[in-house]
Structure 1
Amino acid sequence: MNIFKAVSLKVASTMAFAVMGAQGRYLGSAIPLGEIVFCRGLFALIPILLFFGWRGQLRGAMHTNRFSAHLVRGSFSVVGTFCTFGALARLPIADVTAIAFIAPLITVVFAALFLKEKVYVYRWSAVAVGFSGVILMLSPYLQNHAAITTSMMIGLGLALLNAFTSGGATIQIRRLTATESSSAIVIIMTLIVMAASLLTAPFGWVWPSTFELALLVGIGICGGLGQMLFTESYRYAPASFLAPFDYTAMLWAFLLGFWMFGEVPTTYVVFGAVIVAGAGIFVILRERHLGLKRLRDTPMSPISTMADDETDPDAPVTVLGKAR
């Protein structure tokens, strides 16, 4: 374990995603949404292929016997990516980032519904508290109806839908990691997003200016780099230790929003984000506690969990001495 390197990589990944979002917000009114999403995938392949090539994991990355499962995961990503950039074009960066914080809480709900995981009162309480934070963040929009535009309402709906698709994607990734490598999951997902966004080309794509093209390239590079930094950070520390650092995204969102667009988050957004982040961190710590308890209670059965076995995120899962 290398705490300093792990935290540095994780925080750098949140900054890369924040810069990606700021560029997307800047282009939101000038470039069609589908074109932005396509470039996000296309140029993200540059750091992705370099990263997995450096680790020697490109061979066989496109081989899978579970393409339908990848298609489900890719569908979540398609909807989520469109919703992210659609929301950024209509709402302040800090608001979109804060709403996205509910994704870990939605994952708890989906895990109970679709994975049939047992969720006890502690985590359900955290989910309830977290959603109260969301209501607090949304209260300025709900109180001042005269100031709400149709565009803002669409943005709110897209931001909330993005959080739900993130939760769904997390559940599907849990299923895929049992048999699929990280390279296969990331590359196939990226290609699915590109293919879906390419279908929007007949509906008004434009030729960008030199500056706009540079930003489109930057969106893809920052997105791909963020994914790689995120993945690499888990080689040096457990997921349960690093997950709370996801919330540094709010700091970058505030700084970039203020610097580039003069946006200042409301008190409601700040306090709501703190509540949601606190609930999310509680869920993460609770998962860590339960993971360690399961490990202690089953000493004869090797257990591979996201929280407690992150030495090599791409290693095959081993059960009773057999890799699968």
Structure 2
Amino acid sequence: MPLRHDARRGALMMLGATACFAVMGALVKGLSPRYAFLELMFFRNLFSLPIVLAVGLRAGALLRTRRLAGHAGRAFTGMVAMACAFFSLTLLPLAEQTALNYTQPLFVILLAIPWLGERPGPARWAAVIMGFIGVLAIAAGQGASHGGEAAGPGPGIALGGAGLLVGYLVAALGGFFAALSTMLVRQLSATEASATIVLWQSLMMTAMTGVALPFFWTTPSWPDLGLLVLIGLIGGMGQVLNTEAFASAQVSSLGPYTYTGLLWAGILGWLVWGELPGVAMLAGSVLIVGAGFLILRSEFRRAR
């Protein structure tokens, strides 16, 4: 997809994408007490397929490939990353889980050392250290703002502070697998079109979650079925808007808008579950987002 060099369009697309992902996260969190997270993942993948297919066909994407194993690896790492995100949503307040999602760029830097032979400079190492201090700050303040229990529905209520700690670890693990998926995309993009990569990922992730579905199936009520379909449609729309944003403007110019997901999550968490972020969560989020800006600044300097 050619770069349009339209910063305003890119900003609007990114704002829409982050809002979609925040709403999708809220729906997943709200439905998690009644349905297994793997069932939620299946509906997320299945009902985003029509949107992904429509966009892929418009871009002229084909499923013809000589790198089926590479696509399977990318789909597997993407599925594990999504599983970690969906499961951690059952344990953590929405804003905290969203903040931990932003650890992905930190893991990308670390994985690029053995994977691509890159040597991070002082600014990138500072960003990695700052980001992980932010993760530790959030974990150290676990339970401070909600009495040691998970704020919101899910097994975290029963597990108390232990549930929150598990949620932090799983969310961070999701960042690692998302970074691993990013590295695989870099390899595939040498020979495959981005739309082809997305098509294979969506098809394979739907198939993978479909295989596991009989072991976790709970028949949804009609109102819940509508919400499950909505998870897929909103997730697919967010995916498309995110792609359009990066096709419209430089990554460095989109940085500030990328992190608005934390704002959307904070607002939704407060309105729906009365979740109020504590000092540790705010401080940790500032460190993680600051690390992201350091990485973007470093990327901009290298590109220039």
TM-score normalised to the size of structure 2?
0.90
Highest Rg: 1 or 2? Answer: 1
- Partner residue in 1 for 2:30: 26
Structure 2 Cα separation of the partners of residues 221 and 16 of structure 1: 9
- Partner residue in 2 for 1:43: 47
Q: CA deviation at 1:186?
A: 0.8
Query: What is the aligned counterpart of 2:276 among 235, 250, 264?
Result: 264
Q: CA deviation at 1:142?
A: 8.2
Question: Residues 10 and 242 of structure 1 are in contact (CA less than 8 Å); yes or no, is this contact kept in structure 2?
Answer: yes
Structure 1 Cα separation of the partners of residues 257 and 190 of structure 2: 25
Matched letter for residue 130 of structure 2: V
Q: CA deviation at 1:41?
A: 0.5
- Partner residue in 2 for 1:322: none
Query: What is the aligned counterpart of 2:290 among 257, 267, 278?
Result: 278
Report the aligned-residue RMSD.
1.8
Structure 1 Cα separation of the partners of residues 228 and 144 of structure 2: 36
Q: CA deviation at 1:4?
A: 1.3
* Runs of 4+ in structure 1 over 4 Å off: 142-147
Q: What are the ranges of 5 or more consecutive residues in structure 1 without an aligned counterpart?
A: 293-324
Q: Count residues with an aligned counterpart.
A: 289
- Partner residue in 1 for 2:13: 9
- Partner residue in 2 for 1:296: none
Matched letter for residue 206 of structure 1: T
Q: Does the alignment pair 1:207 with 2:208?
A: no
Question: Residues 78 and 192 of structure 1 are in contact (CA less than 8 Å); yes or no, is this contact kept in structure 2?
Answer: no
Q: Does the alignment pair 1:75 with 2:76?
A: yes
Q: CA deviation at 1:143?
A: 8.1
Q: CA deviation at 1:141?
A: 2.4
Structure 2 Cα separation of the partners of residues 128 and 247 of structure 1: 19
Matched letter for residue 18 of structure 2: T
Query: What is the aligned counterpart of 2:228 among 203, 213, 216?
Result: 216
Query: What is the aligned counterpart of 2:241 among 205, 218, 229?
Result: 229
Whose RCO is larger (CA < 8 A, sep 6+)? 2
Q: Does the alignment pair 1:57 with 2:69?
A: no
Q: Does the alignment pair 1:137 with 2:138?
A: yes
Instruction: Spell out, residue by residue over 1:119-171, the C-alpha distance to the aligned partner (whole angstroms, 9 max, x if none).
Output: 11221111111111111111122889975444333322221111111111111
Q: What are the ranges of 5 or more consecutive residues in structure 2 without an aligned counterpart?
A: 150-159
Structure 1 Cα separation of the partners of residues 294 and 229 of structure 2: 37
Question: Residues 25 and 94 of structure 2 are in contact (CA less than 8 Å); yes or no, is this contact kept in structure 1?
Answer: yes
Structure 2 Cα separation of the partners of residues 146 and 23 of structure 1: 23
Structure 1 Cα separation of the partners of residues 219 and 18 of structure 2: 30
Q: CA deviation at 1:267?
A: 1.4
Q: CA deviation at 1:258?
A: 1.0
